[in-house]
């Protein structure tokens, strides 16, 4: 079976190479399957050791999405089979999320420049691929979101760590509401590094291939990438932002000690701004347990290491399927598409501490975490 990721190596002017990886499942908006994750991780490991590969370029096929997230439908299908006796509950999720987070961690710690062409839709797992790259490139069509609250999950893929690096309150607001942000927002809050108009994609690739790096170091490669980007960036074409103009308002809404109070504050907001209203509606219909997880995970990892955040996320993500609302959320939104999920809890205030505590209990009791080797 062909894995929907293509790999190419293009020669640079000095005889080196640029590795190009393309997510090639445009009909599924390049959603990440386990096979895609494994193939990409293996090739990145190979390119990291190849001295002739100066840099890596990662993008998605088609003009709609870089990557719309993980293959959550496959995850729910596996959970149902496990419930029917085909394996232990959560086995597939543990393997899937473990491999995904390992790939994301590799990108965060990669020894060479990685450029991510984040054009179009970037959600969930797609943001996981983007967030740790050394050069995160956004365009006029970029739309980024972590709408996990709509499917009974929470912002994972390292978001428990990187959302806390934003201005106070912003990460929690984005996680609680699943807000959609554009390229200007991504630049403002630290999720993107450069704005490159979509029409300049090929010109940028050509500039990279015209680089001279050999005999080179990682710093030489970085300098060549920066020079190439300098020639195509044009922030004057970026759309107007949504987060920065509302920053004071967002912080006033989320400056609360408890998630129950923050949710109540957001839901009681009477602003008629269209973006704020859409975010408010998404939270109102979202999973109560997910709101708690979003809040707690960012609190737990405000001062932790990235590796510790990934290890904690692996526990919670598996338990979202085994004990939580993940399967029901995906059913309602993506399988049956009735958009009427039957959450386990009536509202955020109704989530008991015992149910929340269970989400942080490792399902591999007493055994090493599959991500213990991350440092």
- What's the CATH number where 243 sits? 3.90.226.10
Backbone φ, ψ for residue 341 (5° rounding): -65, 145
Backbone φ, ψ for residue 2 (5° rounding): -80, 125
Domain count, the chain: 1
d(CA 276, CA 59): 30
Backbone φ, ψ for residue 57 (5° rounding): -115, 130
d(CA 238, CA 184): 6
Q: What is the pLDDT of residue 215?
A: 62
d(CA 79, CA 81): 5
Provide the residue count of the chain.
375
- Domain range holding 23? 5-358
Three-state secondary structure of the chain: CCCCEEEEEEECCCCCEEEEEEECCHHHCCCECHHHHHHHHHHHHHHHHCCCEEEEEEEECCCCEEECCECHHHHHHHHHHHHCCCCCCCHHHHHHHHHHHHHHHHHHCCCCCEEEEECCEEECHHHHHHHCCCEEEECCCCEEECCHHHCCCCCCCCHHHHHHHCCCCHHHHHHHHCCCECHHHHHHHCCCCEECCHHHHHHHHHHHHCCCCCCCCHHHHHHHHHHHHHCCCCHHHCCCCCCHHHHHHHHHHHCCCCHHHHHHHHHHCCCCCHHHHHHHHHHHHCCHHHHHHHHHHHHHCCCCCHHHHHHHHHHHHHHHHHCCCHHHHHHHHHHCCCCCCCCCCCCHHHCCHHHHHHCCCCCCCCCCCCCCCCC
d(CA 318, CA 367): 15
Q: Does the residue 193 lie in any domain?
A: yes
288 touches 345 (CB < 8 A): yes
Q: Does the residue 365 lie in any domain?
A: no
Q: What is the pLDDT of residue 211?
A: 87
Burial 321-341, CB ≥16 within 10 A → b, else e: bbbbbbbbbbbbbeeeeeeeb
The strand pairing partners of 116, in sequence order, are 58, 136
d(CA 107, CA 134): 8
d(CA 198, CA 304): 36
Q: Does the residue 159 lie in any domain?
A: yes
Other C-beta atoms closer than 10 Å to the C-beta of 46 total: 12
| pLDDT tens per residue across all 375 residues of the chain | 677 999 999 999 888 999 999 999 999 999 999 999 999 999 999 999 999 999 999 999 999 999 999 999 999 999 999 999 998 999 999 999 999 999 999 999 999 999 999 999 999 999 999 999 999 999 999 999 999 999 999 999 999 999 999 999 999 999 999 999 999 999 999 999 999 999 999 999 999 999 887 666 778 899 999 999 999 999 999 999 999 999 999 999 999 999 999 999 999 999 999 999 999 999 999 999 999 999 999 999 999 999 999 999 999 999 999 999 999 999 999 999 999 999 999 999 999 999 999 999 999 878 889 999 999
Q: Does the residue 372 lie in any domain?
A: no
d(CA 127, CA 28): 16
Q: Does the residue 226 lie in any domain?
A: yes
Q: Does the residue 366 lie in any domain?
A: no
Which residue from 331, 260, 313 is spatially nearest to 291, judged by alpha carbons? Answer: 260
Q: Is-above-0.85 flag for pTM? A: yes
Q: Does the residue 369 lie in any domain?
A: no
């Amino acid at each position: 079976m062909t894995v929907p990721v293509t790999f190419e190596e293009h020669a640079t002017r000095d005889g080196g190479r640029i590795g190009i990886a393309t997510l090639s499942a445009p009909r599924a908006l390049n959603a990440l399957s386990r096979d895609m994750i494994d193939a990409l991780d293996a090739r990145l490991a190979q390119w990291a050791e190849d001295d002739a590969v100066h840099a890596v370029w990662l993008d998605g096929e088609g003009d709609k999405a870089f990557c719309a997230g993980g293959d959550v439908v496959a995850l729910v299908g596996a959970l149902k089979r496990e419930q029917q006796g085909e394996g232990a509950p959560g086995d597939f999720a543990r393997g899937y999320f473990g491999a995904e987070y390992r790939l994301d961690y590799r990108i965060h710690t990669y020894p060479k420049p990685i450029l991510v062409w984040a054009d179009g839709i970037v959600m969930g797992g797609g943001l996981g691929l983007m967030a740790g790259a050394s050069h995160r490139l956004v365009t006029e069509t970029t739309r980024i979101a972590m709408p996990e609250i709509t499917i009974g999950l929470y912002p994972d893929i390292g978001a428990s760590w990187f959302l806390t690096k934003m201005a106070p309150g912003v990460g929690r607001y984005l996680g609680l509401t699943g807000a959609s942000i554009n390229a200007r927002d991504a630049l403002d809050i630290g999720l993107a590094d450069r704005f490159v108009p979509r029409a300049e994609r090929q010109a940028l690739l050509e500039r990279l291939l015209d680089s001279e790096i050999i005999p080179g170091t990682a710093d030489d490669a970085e300098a060549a990438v920066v020079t190439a980007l300098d020639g195509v960036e044009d922030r004057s074409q970026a759309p107007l932002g949504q987060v920065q103009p509302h920053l004071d308002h967002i912080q006033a809404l989320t400056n609360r000690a408890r998630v129950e109070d923050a949710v109540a504050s957001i839901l009681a907001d009477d602003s008629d701004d269209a973006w704020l209203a859409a975010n408010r509606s998404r939270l109102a219909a979202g999973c109560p347990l997910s709101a708690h997880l979003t809040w707690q995970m960012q609190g737990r990892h405000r001062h932790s290491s990235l590796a510790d955040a990934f290890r904690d996320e692996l526990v919670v993500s598996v338990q979202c399927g085994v004990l939580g609302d993940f399967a029901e959320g995906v059913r309602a939104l993506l399988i049956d598409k009735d958009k009427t999920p039957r959450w386990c809890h009536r509202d955020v205030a109704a989530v008991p501490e015992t149910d929340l505590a269970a989400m942080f209990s490792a399902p591999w009791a007493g055994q090493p975490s599959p991500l213990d080797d991350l440092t």
